[in-house]
Structure 1
Amino acid sequence: MRQLFAKRTILSIATLAALSAGAAQAQTDPLYRYQWHLMNYGQAVIGDTRPTSGVDLGIDDLHDYNIRGTGVVVGVLDQGAEIAHPDLAANVVPNGSWNFNNNSHDPTPSAAQGGNAHGTAVTGIIGAVGWNGIGVRGVAPSARLKSFNFLDAGGSFAQVQYAWWNGPESKDVAVSNNSWGDTTPLFLTTVSENEVAAWENPMSATRGGLGTVYVKAAGNGFNSVASYCPASSAQVGCSQSVFVRESNFFNIVTVAAVNAAGKRSSYSTPGASLWVSGLGGEYGWERAILSTQATPAQLATQPAVRFDPAIMTTDLSGCVRGYNTNRVQPVQFWSDFDLNRLESNQSTIDSTCNYAATMNGTSAASPTVSGVVALMLQVNPKLSFRDVKYILATTARQVDPTQAAVTNADGTVLAAGWTTNAAGRAFSNWYGYGLVDATLAVNRAIGFKSLGALVDSGWQRVQLETPQAIGNAAAPARATVRIGNGARRVEAVQIGLASNYPVGNTTPLKSTPLVVTLVSPSGTRAIVVPAGSVPVGATMTFDLAAVNAYLDEAASGDWTVEVADTSLAAGTAAKGNLSSFKIRVLGH
């Protein structure tokens, strides 16, 4: 019996009857039992710990009822996928992918790109073929797949635009998965309002005006950039999702990662611009396998999370390329070892090396959400991207409910835990609105009444005649903008501000003592930049940050930004001033 979450098969009898016609098939994907992210009863998987029962996507009986993403085209903007992979080929759209290096429709990594397995792994999480007698199963195992290999070809903005809306291969893409971002996303955003519009407007115009659903990995910067970060970042997170430009666009579903215990994956970048969480796991190593290759001293250097379950998915075919290969001698890196029971052609689980059980990151969490969106669009292809975002948020499950705020010695909140807004929506800067639930989302998608016309306040701003001194938590700098009559309920909020408070861009980098907080007309407080994070720039100034904690709150009224210096003692002179604040509220 599932211990953490109840079974969620709540579709109507009529709907089930219509969808399940001809759907009864044996589970003939031999590695499915290891895919805890799809169905988790606490079974033994790859890794030294068992997953906590019920920590999964809530697929439940959807696949059995033929809800598999049929007819939904998913574009994967990444490294190129091996489109002839035995567990992907049947779902790949013929001549639908694009190779930016040679202008062909085959983005498969070349022999010289033998380690570029990321795109193949991401694509398999979304849409590996089900019930074909081999390997694994995707979240949407009947979705139609396209691959765009921009990470193998320089990764330019022009290539992103090609895959998002410009290119002929992108025209029928309903879901765009984007498991990429800056390696160390620490820089405060610099983007003009015209640039924001130049991205968001064509994104909204795709899919006949419904808008492609763009799903984006938040990043792996909580501690993976530890060499840049002081110890003070340990509880808050070195990087923040708001430091990544694209994660702040209105059209983007920014995804955090949850592990098999139902907690934040150790690496997952937090932030105010998160929307929901997917499942990314940890690292999938196994001590029993590594102990035959590495010394006890070497193993002792590895943190415990290395041995917790990761995500099992497709890998580049064969034992020479990809994540799962035969052991390499002499050993130079940990990846040269066999990391778990699945690896090498000596594996008794699967000797093809066509699959890997070490995929992780928000790169893995993002495609779990993309797969769920494909299931939603199968049952209701008329959903707009706004409808999809709303359904994902309002059906997500609260995980790690005891996550608490991080405070300093005097009780000042440096980073929030779970908070509930004035509309009753719980939000966390670690998890967004929570872990996606496929069955609840699909059930809500069926017959969903559209949110209706978008109401956009446009950018409203205040330039302070007298810049406000940035004092301590008891005397923060404040600026207020009133949003007049327009949208009744909030869907999204974007802000920017300018100050002359020095942040610094020297090495070693320093965490900021500043807390930037946005207060809604209803009084809900959301931390935009937490003290302890490491923003890089000359001053605490940024043009674009999404603050997603206000879903369904009243849009009109006074919105106030507060900037406080948590390092400043009472009576000490301020180190900088707040000079301007701008805000844009979108809703219906």
Structure 2
Amino acid sequence: MAPPPVSSGAARHGLIGVFWDRIEEEPNASRNHATTSRWSLSSMATLPAATRPGIPHRSAPAFAVLALLALLLPITLVIALSQPQPRSYDSHAYYVIETSPTSSGASHSTQSIARDLADRLDTEFVERVGELENFWLVKAPKTRADRGYELFDSHILNTRALSSEKNSQNQKSHQTQQRDSVVEHFQLIRRSAYDPLLESQINRFDEKLRRKRSLPNSSLSARHLAYSIRSLERQVLRRRQKRDLIYVPTPDGPAPLLEPRQTASRPTKGGKLLTLSQMAARKFNIYDPLWPKQWHLVNDVIQKHMINATGVWDMGITGKNVTVAIVDDGIDMTSDDLKDNFFEAGSWDYNDHTPLPEPRLPDDLHGTRCAGEIAAVRNDVCGVGVAYDGKVAGIRILSASISDADEASALNYGYQENHIYSCSWGPPDDGKSMEAPSRLIFKAMLNGIQKGRGGKGSVFVFASGNGGAVDDQCNFDGYTNSIYSVTISAIDRQGLHPYYSEVCSANMVVTYSSGSGDNIHTTDVGKNKCTDRHGGTSAAAPLGAGIFALVLQARPDLTWRDVQYLAVTTAIPFSLDDPDWQRTASGRLYNHKFGFGNMDAYHIVQAAKTWKLVKPQAWWTSANVNAHSQPVTKQGANATIVVTQADLDGANFESLEHITVAVNIKHSRRGNVRVLLISPHGSVSILAAHRRYDDASTGFPGWVFMTVKHWGENAVGAWTLSVQDPIGTQNSNGTFEDWAMGMWGECKDATRQQLFKMPDDAEILLPPSPVSGVALETVMPGLSSSVFGAAPTPLKNPPPLVSDTSMGFSKTKSYVKPTAHLPEDHTGNYTSGDIVTGMGSMSAYLKGKSSWVFVAFGIAIVVGGCLCGWFFLLRMRRQRERARFQTDPDGDQADQGVGLLSGARRPGGLLQQVLGGASGRGNGYGFEPVAGEEDLPMRSMGRGPIESRHKAGMSQTKPTTKDLYDAFGNASGSEDGCETEQEEKQPHRESQADNKPRAAPYNDIDPDDEYMDSFLEDPDANTPLASRTPADEHSDQESRRLVDEEDEDGRQEGED
């Protein structure tokens, strides 16, 4: 079938068409085609490779490569845009915009609204905040943001409602407060919703500013934006604390270093029994040197105190297809213990904003040690992990200060492939801090449990904290007392409660860590480094995460609540002589130090196999209960909430799991306050106890406590909250203001139950119309809303317009990275070698909201360069084919084929011909240019270094330089001027004699195989190249003269 004609230039567009036209200008080198067909690239691409004129079947891989490049372009764009953008906190201020999901109409998406507001505020749109819907990150240069908004100044001075005195006070306060042009601008936009005059002023001012800075016009009015944007908050950097720092109450002297206990192995000869660890090592082929010391896996001394994982391994359950994300200070993915189980796709560095979360600082050891506990492989390096066939991802956030937006993104990073998040960090465990995650981070955790793992929910595992020695409690930590977390505390190898492990009613279970003279033995930073100084609750949480990995391999369909149910119902109580054990109305024992008991891997996995999935989560919350400002005394100030069956039925509530309690307590010394929750059945949860170092006078303004102690109890009845001051000094006084309670559990009817949403998700909280002055009434939800998450602080006196609260700054503290007071089970790590000390920001990384343009442009350049190179090679090949045709009158090469990639093969292949063939150096053949001639017959060209070696009497059996492998491998092995087949065999024999490594034995190669020469041995680098002599040059000149005479004779004959 004849190809369709193509008009010149009309059907050819762009770079490809130009190059194709240039190629078609050359005559067809094949003697089998008398005429040259004019084809377009598009028409040839639609035909089978075998039917394309001038293109043999062997050129099909080239078109496949081009097609692959075209397919990879959109994939590369998606990958580039899906990665978090780098941050520049030193030079830019970052803000999180929250759009209302109810505000997006058919014509405006929430992202378009956020972009419109970003343009209006003269900021740059960055990206969505992690996986959170309706949260967007924008930035502005600090030099502009910190100046303040010009119209804001005039608005304050010209507010008609202000008296002159109030105006003076407000102006003075305004001048002393931290300024932010973006937040001030946003405040005026919010106020314009009820002030048409202000709206017109903003619109005129913004339009003038946009014209001055050449900014795009806003498609939405200020009033529309005011009703579409929920909030804007400037991000403030803060630092989370690794729980490798144990606070001790007596800092006068360092704690003594406790050496690891050395357990003598029992003899294995003379008929005596093997130890448990030796038996397990034989059964599971474990040869790791630390295995006998990993007592948490197999305890040869106290056999009842180990996690009991060997029975699970014997079932073939070793963590396969489960990934645990270590949210910490990085993972050493080059470690021999971790490199095979490192999951790069689920990893990111939020401190240095790079894809690989490498430990770059000298004290970036924590994450690698935790990862080793979970997934260290079986080898001969250190020890093994609980789930040694599982994967670990690294999410680095603890090596520098980060913003709430970055932390929220980290807790959702890769949340479809990362199944469990192990978090051994939190606020300082100093016995005086009280800190909860911000609303943004709370939303990220909620998003994780609702959408992670394909809707089954991410499993968050948090270490309870190391502040036990200073009376710190995990109910003062908003991460560990979250209903979305599995809070794990620690016990030592003897089953005792370590002094550092924190006590609270949010503790769910315990597992093993340092104490009683021994620590956790695991992997350390370095290629083959180990440590026996890992401990604290930092070590207990990863062990729990590793056990959950075994559970999810056995039952990947479990939801996040199923995992919590299994942890509660399979925990094993121990040390029953401890006075804190109490049997609840559900029949379970609970202890504030140990939770429901110790985790047992075999028990929980066996239970998971037959576990019936629980129904969706239901919740019920009480109204605010006024405590009438009762004085807080030793006897206690009490208030009661009565829960009826009708209340629970109305909430579709069936069985109880978690209880959250939001309190508003005023006290001059917070550390004196004790808070108890008493169930209708007499079970008592200690929500807060005495903290001797907590001198704060702020009390508990809307703080949320949580308890799991009442799991499974009947919720109907009177629940009493008792607030006490057991110290009762004259200088301490307080009042119990109000409280509210929330209950979480399993629903009755799964078909009726909806996913939980935060109470204010569907609301637009606009500032009310000012009555007097410009002070804004801050709209705060009540305590009944606080029980759902991080509690706000109720404010009776609203802040002024220019206060920090109204400015929208994230009210968080920045904590210094711990460098001292390391405990006995963290001191003396045995790492050695150089530590990577930092990495510069990626200056060539995608920038700003135009990142996709740079990516597309860069890829287009790469693809275009590849096409140019490919067509250039094509043209060179055709020139040589035409020359070869002219020198082959007998048709010896007729079977060689012609076209894109056909023709005779040279040792260097196409790539080397382009890189060095024209110079006469670096190839087996050197082509010397002839003046005035562009296309020469092949036999007119000198043989370069190889021919020189002929004349110098040198051996021809070794090529002079290395030959690049032919990437296409489709050219024949014979060529005008090549060595004979017998000559090609000789280098192989010599290389065999020299015992040099080769790609394949010569005996396995078919002598007729056209790909044979791609396996040629690299030449001997010590073989010198012969220099060309004057005799050589004379011989070449004589050869060229004879060739010119022959060509002239041929032309005359053709004319005749």
Q: Same fold (TM over 0.5)?
A: yes
Q: Distance in 2 between matches of 1:573 and 1:217?
A: 35
Q: CA deviation at 1:58?
A: 1.6
How does 1:345-364 map onto structure 2 within 5 Å?
354-364=529-539
Q: How does 1:414-563 map to 2 (within 5 A)?
A: 417-457=580-620, 459-464=621-626, 466-473=628-635, 475-482=636-643, 484-485=647-648, 486-503=652-669, 511-512=671-672, 514-532=673-691, 534-535=693-694, 536-563=696-723
Question: Which structure's CA Rg is the greater one?
Answer: 2
Q: Root-mean-square deviation (CA), in Å?
A: 2.4
Question: Please, which of 468, 486, 495 is the counterpart of residue 253 of structure 1?
Answer: 486
Deviation for aligned residue 1:419: 1.3
Question: Aligned-pair distance for 1:115?
Answer: 2.6
Partner amino acid for 1:362? Answer: T
1:394-413 mapped onto 2 (5 Å cutoff) = 394-404=569-579
Q: Give, in whole Å, the separation in 2 of the partners of 1:445 and 1:37.
A: 22
**Deviation, structure 1 residue 520:** 1.7
Per-residue CA deviation, residues 433-457 of structure 1 (Å, 9 max, x unaligned), is 1111100000010021011121111
Cα pair 1:74 1:176 within 8 Å, conserved: yes
The 1-side partners of 2:698 and 2:589 are apart by: 34
Q: Distance in 2 between matches of 1:83 and 1:472?
A: 55
- Say which of 550, 558, 561 aligns to 1:386: 561
Instruction: Identify if the C-alpha distance between structure 1 residues 502 and 461 changes in structure 2 by more than 3 Å, giving closer, same or farther.
Output: farther
Of Structure 1 and Structure 2, the greater helix share is in 2
1:582 and 2:740 are equivalent in the alignment? yes
AA partner of residue 148 (structure 1): I
Cα gap change, 1:263/1:464 in structure 2, threshold over 3 Å: closer, same or farther? same
Q: What amino acid maps onto 2:557 in structure 1?
A: K
Using a 3 Å threshold, how does the CA distance of structure 1 residues 159 and 190 change in structure 2: closer, same or farther? closer
1-side partners of 2:312 and 2:641: how far apart? 47
**Cα distance between partner residues in 2 of 1:356 and 1:196:** 35
SS in 2 for 1:582: strand
Q: Are the aligned partners of 2:445 and 2:484 in contact in 1 as well (CA < 8 Å)?
A: no
Q: Does the CA contact (< 8 Å) of 1:204 and 1:251 recur in 2?
A: no
Aligned mates of 2:426, 2:435 — CA distance in 1: 14
In structure 2, how many angstroms separate the alpha carbons of the residues matched to 1:217 and 1:210?
22
Report the residue type matching 1:399 in the other structure. F
C-alpha displacement of 1:468: 2.3
Report the counterpart of residue 414 of structure 1 in structure 2: none
Contact 2:436-2:479 at 8 Å conserved across structures: no
Distance (Å, rounded) in 1 between the aligned partners of 2:601 and 2:587: 22
- The residue type paired with residue 530 of structure 2 is Y
Whether 1:222 aligns to 2:222 is: no
Q: Check whether the contact 1:191–1:543 (CA below 8 A) recurs between aligned residues.
A: no
Q: Distance in 1 between matches of 2:402 and 2:592?
A: 28
Query: What code does the residue aligned with 2:434 have?
Result: L
Given residue 304 of structure 2, which amino acid in structure 1 is its aligned partner?
A: G
| Residues 163 and 170, structure 1, Cα contact 8 Å, conserved in 2 | no
Shift of 1:84: 1.4
Aligned residue for 1:61, secondary structure, equals helix
Maintained 8 Å contact 1:460/1:583:
yes
Conserved in 1, the CA contact under 8 Å of 2:351 and 2:401? no
SS of 1:248's equivalent in the other structure is coil
TM-score (norm 2): 0.42
Distance 1:117 1:196, change over 3 A: closer
1:239 to 472, 481, 504: 472
- Call closer, same or farther: CA 1:315–1:194 in 2, change over 3 Å: closer
Aligned 1:53-68 pairs, distance under 5 A: 53-68=303-318
Q: Deviations over 1:316-361 (max 9, x none)?
A: 116xxxxxxxxxxxxxxxxxxxxxxxxxxxxxxxxx5x00001001
Whole-angstrom CA distance in 1 between matches of 2:586 and 2:627: 34
Deviation at 1:549, TM superposition (A): 0.4
Helix, strand or coil at the partner of 1:441: helix
Q: CA deviation at 1:53?
A: 2.9
Q: Please state whether the residue corresponding to 1:184 is helix, strand or coil.
A: coil
SS of 1:205's partner is: helix
The amino acid across from 1:576 in the alignment is G
Task: Verify the 8 A CA contact 1:59 1:438 in the aligned structure 2.
Answer: yes
Q: Which residue of 2 aligns with 1:565?
A: 725
- 1:314 corresponds to: 523
CA contact under 8 A between 2:638 and 2:720: conserved in structure 1? no
Once the two structures are TM-superposed, the CA of residue 170 in structure 1 deviates from its matched residue by 3.5
Which amino acid in structure 2 is aligned with residue 149 of structure 1? R
Provide the rounded CA distance (Å) in 2 between the counterparts of 1:365 and 1:190: 22
After TM superposition, give the deviation of residue 215 of structure 1 in Å.
0.3
* Structure 2 residue aligned with 1:37: 296
Distance 2:599 2:498 in 1: 15
Is 2:661–2:706's contact at 8 Å kept on the other side of the alignment? yes
CA contact 2:449–2:560 (8 Å) conserved in 1: no
Look up the equivalent residue of 1:53 and give its one-letter code.
Q
- SS of match in other structure, 1:103: coil
Residue 180 in structure 1 maps to residue 425 in structure 2: yes
Correspondence 1:116 to 2:291: no
Which is further off, 206-215 or 94-103? 94-103
Deviation, 1:249, is: 1.5
Corresponding residue for residue 496 of structure 2: 263
Shift of 1:24: 6.0
**Any idea what the Cα deviations from partners look like across 1:409-444, whole Å, max 9, x if unmatched?**
xxxxxxxx1111100111111111111110000001
Shift of 1:248: 1.7
Q: Given that residues 481 and 582 in structure 1 are in contact (C-alpha distance below 8 angstroms), is that contact kept between their aligned partners in structure 2? A: no
Contact 2:404/2:440 (CA < 8 Å) preserved in 1? Answer: no
Name the CA distance, whole Å, in 2 between partners of 1:95 and 1:429. 38
Q: For 1:84 and 1:498, locate their aligned partners in 2 and report how far apart those are by CA, in whole Å.
A: 50
Distance 1:585 1:204, change over 3 A: same
Q: What percentage of aligned pairs have identical amino acids? A: 26
Query: Deviation of residue 41 (structure 1)?
Result: 2.0
Task: Give how far 1:56 is off.
Answer: 0.9
For 2:289 and 2:543, the matched residues in 1 are separated by: 20
SS at match of 1:200: helix
The match for 1:324 is: none
Amino acid at match of 2:565: Y
Structure 1 residues 149 and 574: alpha-carbon distance in aligned structure 2, compared to 1, 3 A threshold: closer
Aligned length: 458
Question: Once the 2 structures are TM-superposed, how far is the Cα of residue 197 of structure 1 from its aligned partner?
Answer: 5.3
CA separation of 1:573/1:81 partners in 2, compared to 1, >3 Å: closer, same or farther?
Answer: closer
Deviation of 1:374 after TM superposition, in Å, equals 0.2
Q: Residue 555 of structure 1 contacts residue 587 of structure 1 at CA under 8 Å; is this kept in 2? A: no
Give the Cα–Cα distance (whole angstroms) in 2 for the partners of residues 88 and 214 of structure 1.
Answer: 22
**1:564 Cα deviation (Å)?**
1.8
Partner letter of residue 366 of structure 2?
Answer: H
Encode CA deviations 1:46-68: one digit per residue, 9 max, x unaligned. Answer: xxxxxx33211121321232211
Which of residues 356, 361, 376 in structure 2 aligns to 1:128? 376
TM-score by length of 1: 0.73
SS at match of 1:141: coil
C-alpha distance 358-194 of structure 1, shift in aligned 2 (>3 A) = closer
The one-letter code matched in structure 1 to 2:374 is I
Paired residue for 2:101?
none
Q: Secondary structure at the match of 1:62?
A: helix
CA drift of 1:216 comes to 0.3
Post-superposition shift, 1:543?
A: 2.0
CA contact (8 A) 2:405 2:440 kept: no
The structure richer in strand per residue is: 1
**Paired residue for 1:69, among 300, 319, 333?**
319
